[in-house]
Amino acid sequence: MQRKDDKAYGVSPTYFLILLFLPNLEYFYKTFLILQITLSQVATLEMRRKIRKTGIDINSEGKRTKEALEESERYRILIENTSDIVYSLDSEGNFTYIGPQVKQYGFEPEEVISQNFLNFVHPKDREGMHLQFQKTITSGSEFISRFRIRNKKGRMYWIEELGKVQHDKSGGVIGINGVLRDITERRRVDEKLQRVNKELEKRVQERTAEISKANEALQVEITERKHAEDALKESYEKLRSALEGTIHALASTVEKRDPYTAGHQQRVTTLACAIATEMGLPEEKVDGIRMIGVIHDLGKIYVPAEILSKPGQLNEVEFKMIRSHAKVGYDILKKVEFPWPIAQVIVQHHERIDGSGYPSGLSGENILLEAKIIGVADVFEAISSHRPYRPALGIDKAIEEISQKKGTLYDPEVVDACLRLFTVKGFTIEC
């Protein structure tokens, strides 16, 4: 069946069957009965539906209300147990809600509600916070701000605020909800850290300045020392040049008195320097040997020229005079300060490592290396060259002499270096 309001209602088929099987009843009665039955059925159905619907509505509403209450309670517990303060402002900046934590600043929530938030902001931050509020309300965005407040007794605290603009369903601004957090202690620690940092930075700058100053002074000192060293080096070079000139003058004097040994000292020098270099001696030692070599027979200026150039056999006195040249050379130069041990090498150049040499019969390590080198070069040159009393014996004879007496008269390392020069490296000596 269907009502005028187009709502359909069901009628049980049992009632229609009764009607069909009662043909003797009057038409009106039938119509009434049908109407009664129908109305009754409709009323019953409607009532049942209403009851059922009401029952459902009551149950659903109750459940939703219960859930909402539970949720609200959960939020309340959360809000009241956090250390931050939850708040709500209306669009004018007046508190519509403030969490109970506001009590820690001496205010009851009730006395804060309805007051404008700027009343609690420190006067120095008030203008800035007012502008911030206006801007937030206009732009409708989230914001974070830091500002100072004063508690009821006027003490100052630093607050960090995180807020968000709230809108109604039509998009209009209702106000701001947010959270306030006390950052006073954090600010105090930050400020202390900043002070410590500044102090450290200041000390680093001071220390850097000191180091820079010391560095500059050091640079000046290094420059001055370099100049002094250069001056000393120049002075040394001049002195060395003067000494070399003196030594060469002495060498010329000896050689002019003794034409038969002319060039002997120079050739000994050349060979001795080659041996020293072959042995790997430092340049300074090689330079010393070069200076000593050219005057190693300086003492011969005290030996009469006739004896020096005597072609025949020398008698014992003459031989003794010639042998005195080592000591005489030493006596001439012993008080002159050279950068090399010239006098000592001169007096030792006829000493032999087995102690058979003259004038002191020194042996082994008591003989200076320079003297051992000049000694070997002197013998080698004397044998291989022409002498007043005999013709040149040649290099082979000289090699034979130093090879045979290696380790007895002559230092083995010096001999080996000399032999390498002539037998391996093709060194030649002008005879």
Binding region for Fe ion (CB under 5 A): 297
List, in sequence order, every residue forming a beta bridge with 85; answer none if it has no partner.
Answer: 180
CA dist., res. 185 & res. 309, Å (int): 110
Nearer to Fe ion, 297 or 370 (CB): 297
Residue nearest to Fe ion (CB): 297
For tokens 């209009």, name the residue: 172
Give least dist CB 247 to Fe ion, A: 16
Give least dist CB 353 to Fe ion, A: 17
Whether residue 359 has a cis bond before it, omega within 30° of 0 = yes
CA dist., res. 414 & res. 378, Å (int): 12
Give least dist CB 227 to Fe ion, A: 44
Cβ contact 309:259 at 8 Å: yes
Give least dist CB 259 to Fe ion, A: 16
Nearer to Fe ion, 297 or 381 (CB): 297
Nearer to Fe ion, 345 or 417 (CB): 345
Nearer to Fe ion, 178 or 293 (CB): 293
Nearer to Fe ion, 122 or 290 (CB): 290
Nearer to Fe ion, 161 or 297 (CB): 297
CA dist., res. 305 & res. 47, Å (int): 166
Nearer to Fe ion, 100 or 263 (CB): 263
Nearer to Fe ion, 86 or 346 (CB): 346
Give least dist CB 350 to Fe ion, A: 6
Q: Report residue 87 as tokens.
A: 């708040």
Q: Where are the alpha helices (DSSP H) in 258-324?
A: 264-278, 283-293, 305-308, 316-323
Q: List, edge to edge, every strand of the sheet that includes 85-90.
A: 95-98, 85-90, 173-182, 156-167, 142-150
Give least dist CB 359 to Fe ion, A: 11
CA dist., res. 359 & res. 35, Å (int): 169
Give least dist CB 297 to Fe ion, A: 5
Long-range contacts of the stretch 38-45 (C-beta < 8 A, 24+): 38/1, 38/11, 41/9, 41/10, 41/11, 41/12, 41/15, 42/1, 42/3, 42/9, 45/9, 45/10
CB atoms within 10 A of CB 129: 20
Cβ contact 297:254 at 8 Å: yes
Give least dist CB 349 to Fe ion, A: 6
CA dist., res. 83 & res. 57, Å (int): 41
CA dist., res. 247 & res. 370, Å (int): 17
Nearer to Fe ion, 248 or 327 (CB): 327
Give least dist CB 397 to Fe ion, A: 19
Give least dist CB 223 to Fe ion, A: 49
CA dist., res. 375 & res. 82, Å (int): 103
Residue 261 buriedness (CB in 10 A; 0-12 / 13-18 / 19+):
buried
Give least dist CB 328 to Fe ion, A: 11
Cα-based distances in Å from 201 to 121, 310, 322: 35, 91, 83
Cβ contact 2:8 at 8 Å: yes
